[in-house]
């Protein structure tokens, strides 16, 4: 029996989305061309930081590019109660990053891989 995706905790979606987001960012960086692994790692680390993810969250929220469903998932993730705090980010940035990760977890678990790629590209351009 398949579980209704709307019943998934936003933090569960964010857990999955954290890995999905990191993987797609790494793939996008490698697609730009062959370079040193250290340089790739440093660039990926900056892009997947909570501060940078919060900027992508803001651009998605203000840009009118998300569907109502996607926006709802992202907001649910942002408003979820998290029990810890990022070391190098404000509480608000951390919550926004959690919301963005929930969105990517939701898109992945619902099989919307093309949408993930589209949003990754938009996020790389905007943040």
How far is the C-alpha of 10 from the C-alpha of 113, rounded, in Å?
19
How far is the C-alpha of 15 from the C-alpha of 23, rounded, in Å?
13
Asked whether 22 and 48 are in contact (CB, 8 A), the reply is yes
The answer to whether the Cα torsion of 61, 77, 44, 115 is positive or negative is negative
Range list of H helices, 3-112: 10-31, 37-47, 50-63, 68-79, 91-109
Catalytic residue status for 58? no
Which among 4, 18, 58, 93 is annotated as catalytic? Answer: 18
- Which residues are marked as active site? 18
């Amino acid at each position: 029996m398949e579980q209704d995706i709307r019943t998934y905790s936003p933090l569960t979606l964010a857990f999955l989305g954290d890995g999905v987001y990191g993987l797609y960012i790494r793939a996008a960086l490698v697609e730009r061309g062959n370079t040193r692994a250290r340089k790739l790692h440093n660039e990926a680390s900056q892009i997947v930081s909570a501060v940078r993810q919060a900027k992508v969250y803001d651009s998605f929220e203000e840009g009118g590019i998300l569907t109502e469903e996607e926006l709802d998932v992202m907001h649910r993730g942002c408003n979820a109660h998290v029990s810890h705090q990022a070391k190098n980010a404000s509480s608000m940035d951390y919550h926004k990053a959690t919301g963005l990760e929930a969105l990517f977890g939701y898109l992945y678990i619902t099989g919307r891989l093309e949408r993930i790629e589209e949003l990754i590209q938009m996020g790389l351009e905007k943040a």
